[in-house]
Amino acid sequence: PLAYLQETLMGKYGEEAKLIYELQDQGGELLALRYDLTVPFARYLAMNKITNMKRYHIAKVYRRDNPATTRGRYREFYQCDFDIAGQFDPMIPAPECLKIVHEILSDLQLGDFLIKVNDRRILNGVFAVCGIPESKFITTCCTVDKLDKVPWEEVRSEMVGEKGLSPEAADHVGEYVQLHGEHCGVEPLALLFQEGLGMNVAGQAPEVPVRVGSVAGGGRYDGLVGMFDPKGRKVPCVGVSIGIERIFSILEQRMKASGEKVRTTETQVLVATPHKHLLAARLKLISELWGAGIKAEMLYKKDPKLLKQLQYCEDTGIPLAAIVGEQELTDGVVKLRDVATRKEVRM
């Protein structure tokens, strides 16, 4: 469902909970619009006692965020999620998720991209070494996540000023999070890279010319299903979510830069008439085309000029015009015109 009891969504997103769209009292219930497709999926698994499932889901989600339409950031937008739920050997489903992301981004020809992989246990280990109390791991993690968008100085300021970390602990974290390197030797990640490389998902990491932020994100959420199960039964899950509008933003910017025209209709043929009083002929022909499964259109005008109808084909990229005039009706034929070459055949 689109709307949930607030208690279902609250407490699942950390600091991001402030972006949940809350609906006030609806007949005695406090409701909220879904923030993502992951929590609803976990709830569905628990409610139906499903312990093994593999699925994808494309639907709208809602966030009370500051829109930035040029970067594909909206308050109402589509996500495409795919998840693998079930008890499997470690790190076997994860490379499949990476493979799907790699395949989608490659097939859409978005340009070069970088897939970042992390194990939360590494980050928790870094926080522990830096002297951050366990109770502040999640809030510190939320702040560190902002490093993709803002410089370290701003992140450090938030950690000390808002999160209450000591300057020494913040500086210690800074030493770690600004490190860069190749494949990590930590066992689970080493296994993931080994499996992932076997699926041919490595090696794409150059700069991205069009910047809109991340287009996908995901990970494990082994404890989420248990939060909805009356007996606390856990179902390990791993999945990835792709932001569809983010991808549209990249495609639009790339096409604008190249001057490429986007065809916004699948219409195969426009039914046109060159003379007045031929609306009935147009309606009859378009009905026959629709009945044959051909994607056809006509202008919703009683007596449109032929030039205007052909111009509409050019503007929208419709490749063919099926023309019926008085002579064609007399001869029992249709004149089919290739809009691009202007060649005509009678049939």
**Exposure of 287 in the CB half-sphere (CA atoms within 13 A):** 6
Integer Cα distance of 177 and 108 in angstroms: 31
Is 171 labelled as part of a ligand binding site? no
Q: At what angle do helices 137-144 and 120-129 cross, to 10 degrees?
A: 110
Consult the annotation and say whether 109 binds a ligand: no
Per DSSP, the residues of 56-106 read EEEEEEE-----BGGGTB-SEEEEEEEEEES--STTSHHHHHHHHHHHHHH
Strand order in the sheet with 237-243: 53-62, 76-85, 237-243, 216-220
* Residue 83 labelled as part of a binding site: yes
9 annotated ligand-binding residue: no
CB 232 within 8 A of CB 252: no
265 close to 317: Cβ distance less than 8 angstroms: yes
263 annotated as ligand-binding: no
The answer to whether residues 267 and 248 touch, using CB atoms and an 8 Å cutoff, is no
Q: In sequence order, what E strands does the chain have?
A: 3-5, 22-23, 31-33, 53-62, 76-85, 216-220, 237-243, 269-272, 296-297, 320-323, 335-338, 344-346
* The residue to which tokens 């916004």 are assigned: 264
73 is in an annotated binding site: no
Alpha-carbon gap, residue 85 to 91, rounded angstroms: 13
Backbone angles phi, psi at 56, to 5 degrees: -125, 155
From the annotation, which residues make up the binding site? 36-38, 63, 79, 83
From the annotation, which residues make up the binding site for L-histidine? 36-38, 63, 79, 83
